Amino acid sequence: MNSTAPSYTSAEVLYASTDFSKLNWLETQWAAWYLWIGNPVIATGLMSFLLHEIVYFGRCLPWIFIDATPYFQKWKLQPDRIPTAQEQWDCTKQVLYSHFMVELPVIWLFHPVAEMFGMSTWQVPFPSWQIMVPQVALFFVFEDMFHFFAHQALHWGPLYKHIHKIHHKYPSPFGLAAEYAHPAEVMILGAGTILGPLGYCYIKRDLHIFAVYVWITLRLFQAVDAHSGYDFPWSLQHILPFWAGAEHHDFHHMAFTNNFATSFRWCDRLFGTDIKYLEHRRRMNELKKSGLSREQFAAAEKKMLEQVEAEGVVEAAKVEAYRYGSKKVA
Ligand SMILES: [Zn+2]
Ligand SMILES: [Zn+2]
């Protein structure tokens, strides 16, 4: 695989020394895409943008269906908060606006930046899965830690008030709300997704953009699922206990404090930013074991969730009332 930045005018030149008979179907399609577009910068930019749109909205579709199907309501974390079609449509418009106005212009920089860091883009064949799996795992761990600290910074008065407040519009989130955020937040938290691969590439000089796409696809699944608002018995967090999942992030939206990480539970556990959440879960489990009738349980659960959300509103107001140079709240 040739990983040096090529100097070329025609895309055919890129593959002059590639043996196409040794490529698998996906690698052949990959090369065909670069040959068809004829300009690697546009080919990478367009593919990155399309990947993001298809994976993000594609992953949201099952959640839209689930929200519209009463059968699934028993697994909704905040059962009285099913998003309306209007709410979902308003959110979609805002997310699309941000994708086209903010992400699309930036995404064109991706190819030049990737090549600057020595990342392979148009090259085929891809690295083996034995090489890519540890890379993707590393990006997950890095992003989770980055997000944990950056997200807490976004809860600091001025940053919350001017940036992160938009994402907290929904105390009971739904899949589409994953990227409902201020453009600055998209940039700040998006940095955690892309700095891992760039840093890795800078040090190791051995990364294919295909591995980055695998990572981004899984990261988008994680983000949409974490905002879904559902905790099924088969949700990943019941298989991998350190996986955060919707049950973890839903609490962040509802209670405003606690649970700042994305993919994993360990950062919040280590820094004690999940105390309130753990107490809530303990009370919830007690409630489930208390032998109440279905109606009594629903009423008690509703009361408990309303109390958590009301406390969250107070906490958010305190942060928003932050005054420069003073921690006194209004
Ligand atoms: Zn937050
Ligand atoms: Zn969120």
In this predicted model, what pLDDT tens digit does every residue of 43-79 receive, in sequence order?
999 999 999 999 999 999 999 999 999 999 999 999 8
- Cβ atoms of 228 and 247 closer than 8 Å: no
CA trace torsion 136, 139, 144, 148 (10° rounding): -170
Give the ligand with the smallest distance to the CA of 170: 2
Distance 297 CA to ligand 2 centre (A): 27
Distance 288 CA to ligand 2 centre (A): 26
Residue 9 above 50 pLDDT? no
Distance 219 CA to ligand 2 centre (A): 13
CA 251 to chain centre: 16
SS3 per residue for the chain: CCCCCCCCCCHHHHCCCCCHHHCCHHHHHHHHHHHHHCCHHHHHHHHHHHHHHHHHHHHHHHHHHHHCCHHHHHHECCCCCCCCHHHHHHHHHHHHHHHHHHHHHHHCCHHHHHHHCCCECCCCCCCCHHHHHHHHHHHHHHHHHHHHHHHHHCCCHHHHHHHHCCHHHCCCCCHHHHHCCCHHHHHHHHHHHHHHHHHHHHHHCCCEHHHHHHHHHHHHHHHHHHCCCECCCCCHHHCCCCECHHHHHHHHHHHCCCCCCCCECHHHHHCCCCHHHHHHHHHHHHHHHCCCCHHHHHHHHHHHHHHHHHHHHHHHHHHHCCECCECCCC
Distance 211 CA to ligand 2 centre (A): 25
Distance 226 CA to ligand 1 centre (A): 13
Domain limits of the chain? 41-319
* pLDDT value of position 105: 86
Residue 327 above 60 pLDDT? no
Residue 189 above 90 pLDDT? yes
Give the ligand with the smallest distance to the CA of 249: 2
In this predicted model, what pLDDT tens digit does every residue of 138-184 receive, in sequence order?
999 999 999 999 999 999 999 999 999 999 999 999 999 999 999 99
* pLDDT value of position 11: 64
* pLDDT value of position 73: 92
* pLDDT value of position 16: 84
Residue 246 above 90 pLDDT? yes
Distance 177 CA to ligand 1 centre (A): 13
Residue 10 above 70 pLDDT? no
Average pLDDT over residues 190-204: 94
Nearest CA-CA partner of 126 in 50, 201, 206, 193: 206
Distance 164 CA to ligand 1 centre (A): 7
Separation between Cα atoms, residue 271 and residue 273, nearest integer Å = 6
Residues 6 or more apart whose Cβ sits within 8 Å of residue 311: 255, 256
Give the ligand with the smallest distance to the CA of 228: 2
Residue 131 above 60 pLDDT? yes
Q: Report residue 42's pLDDT band, with 50, 70 and 90 as the boundaries.
A: very high
Q: Report residue 1's pLDDT band, with 50, 70 and 90 as the boundaries.
A: very low
In this predicted model, what pLDDT tens digit does every residue of 215-238 receive, in sequence order?
999 999 999 999 999 999 999 999
Average pLDDT over residues 113-119: 91
* pLDDT value of position 325: 54
* pLDDT value of position 5: 46
Tokens of 119: 């990342």
Tell me if the pTM is above 0.85.
yes
In this predicted model, what pLDDT tens digit does every residue of 264-290 receive, in sequence order?
999 999 999 999 999 999 999 999 888
Distance 227 CA to ligand 2 centre (A): 6
Give the ligand with the smallest distance to the CA of 259: 1
Residue 323 φ/ψ, nearest 5 degrees: -110, 140
Distance 208 CA to ligand 1 centre (A): 32
In this predicted model, what pLDDT tens digit does every residue of 294-323 receive, in sequence order?
889 899 999 999 999 999 999 999 888 876
- With a pLDDT cut of 70, the percent of the chain lying above it is 94
Average predicted confidence (pLDDT) for the chain: 91
- With a pLDDT cut of 90, the percent of the chain lying above it is 78
Distance 318 CA to ligand 1 centre (A): 14
In this predicted model, what pLDDT tens digit does every residue of 22-37 receive, in sequence order?
899 999 999 999 999 9
Query: Which residue matches tokens 């929904």?
Result: 170
Distance 59 CA to ligand 1 centre (A): 22
Distance 107 CA to ligand 2 centre (A): 23
Give the ligand with the smallest distance to the CA of 177: 2
Give the ligand with the smallest distance to the CA of 164: 1
